[in-house]
A and B are shown apart, each in its own frame.
Chain A
Amino acid sequence: MIELDARRLMCPMPVIKAQNAIKTMTSGDKLRVTCSDPGVMQDIPAWSRINGHTILKAEEIDHEYIITIEVGDD
């Protein structure tokens, strides 16, 4: 599991950070992104759907939004 801290970044920066991290990963790898902008709860799943990755979990804990993505094929 790779961890990515995207706190204090506003959308679409967390999406860009996740995208750039995933570029260096391979299919089946997992990325957990921690964010403070609630917009990620829409934008990261939308970006993942478009690009063929799977959201394993998206949760809000203490005003933080934690999303786990499994990298898809490609």
Chain B
Amino acid sequence: MTTQRKAVALISGGLDSLLAAKVMLEQGIHVEGINFYTGFCVEGHTHAIRKKDKAKPKRNNALWSAETLGIKLHIIDVIDEYKDVLINPKHGYGQNMNPCLDCKVFMVGKAKEWADENGFDFIITGEVIGQRPMSQRRETMPIISAESGADDRLLRPLCAQNLPETLPEREGWVNRDELHDFSGRTRKPQMALAEKFGLDDYAQPAGGCCFLTDKAYSVKLADLWASRGKKEYEIDDIMLLKVGRHFRPKPNFKLIVAREEGENNFLQGYRKQFITLRTMSHKGPLTLLDGTVEDGDLELAAKIVARFSQGRDAESVDVEVAELGEVIKSISIKPFSNEEIQEAWRV
């Protein structure tokens, strides 16, 4: 009896990784999925923050893919290790703060480590030549294979026929003739294959698998680094970049103003770590102040916060300031008008 070969599949939650794994299952390979949580993944958390999103709970597409395929999924926390990938990307950033090529090298490398530890024979991804301008090009495919250390144990079932033979093909573990030759930006071949497999209801992520491809998010991250004078972050920092309106009226501090009740509740959880402002005379959003304050800064912040309360047109609004959860000051102030909130303050 021949041994059943084992492949670990990078599962992002998108259609391509789902199809790549399915192609392997069809060839009798034992497949298990692996998914890396960098802290920036679109899957997960943000749906829990905004109240309007709560009514319709968002599924985790990586889990959904695994369940559809009937395979196990191992989710790995790489938050700390990922910092170096994002802060010092050898191959640079894409259109926004996305270090896609370094990210791919990192993830395939981690999958290779996992495969070695767990007795798996090879690694598969849903990459397609030409699908993404930065990381999925003909020239980047060998870079990912080599720099990750996976070498010819990395197989891309969706475009393998356009690439040199890999170990699983050479050894006859998989049949190259039944792999695919997809290329380019078109999604048609993927959709046709999905239909052939009877797969529907799959996720169609627009930009990519993480927030780093998002322009607004990237601007906030760049502002965070610029204000700190160095590229560094903790998980709380990157979570807070996803929440609220952000204003930087002065270089030394930024305000995060909740947009609705769900965000208010989320920011409540940070009251003991930050200076917070809330309007007392009128209903209004909870606001976090990130940074340090100098003379007059709390009044400036209070005017902005009051602008987003129901007292925006009142002569005076009472704002309570707390530091690490303890009230330190009460300010009665006239809210800024819309025009007084400078466009340049918005991050």
Chain A interface residues (CB < 8 Å from chain B) = 8, 10-13, 15-16, 19, 37-39, 41-43, 46-47, 49-51
Contacts and interface: CB of A to CB of B under 8 A. Distances in A.
Interface stretch (B2-10, B57-65, B181-189, B302-310): B57-65
Interface residues of B, number: 26
B48 interface: yes
Interface stretch (B19-27, B69-77, B109-117, B215-223): B69-77
B67 interface: yes
Enumerate the 7 nearest inter-chain pairs by beta-carbon distance, A residue then B residue, closest first.
A10-B45, A11-B44, A46-B63, A37-B48, A12-B44, A39-B48, A16-B77
Given A12-B44, A38-B48, A50 B71 contact: yes
Contacts of A38: 48, 54, 57
A50 B41 CA distance: 21
Contacts of A13: 37, 44, 77
A46 B71 contact: no
A47 B73 contact: yes
Contact of A42 (B49, B57, B73, B77): B57
A42 B11 CA distance: 18
A10 B67 contact: no
B60 A43 contact: yes
From DSSP, what is the main secondary structure of chain A's interface residues?
helix
A46 B72 contact: no
A49 B67 contact: yes
B341 interface: no
Contacts of A15: 60, 63, 75
B57 A39 contact: yes
A34 B49 CA distance: 18
B269 interface: yes
Contacts of B269: 8
13 contacts: A10-B44, A10-B48, A11-B44, A11-B45, A11-B48, A11-B60, A12-B45, A12-B60, A12-B75, A13-B37, A15-B60, A46-B64, A50-B71
A16 B63 CA distance: 12
B59 A46 contact: yes
A50 B67 contact: yes
A51 B45 CA distance: 22
Contacts of A43: 44, 60, 63
B37 A12 contact: yes
Interface string B281-324: 00000000000000000000000000000000000000000000
B275 interface: no
B212 to A, nearest CB: 17
A16 B75 contact: yes
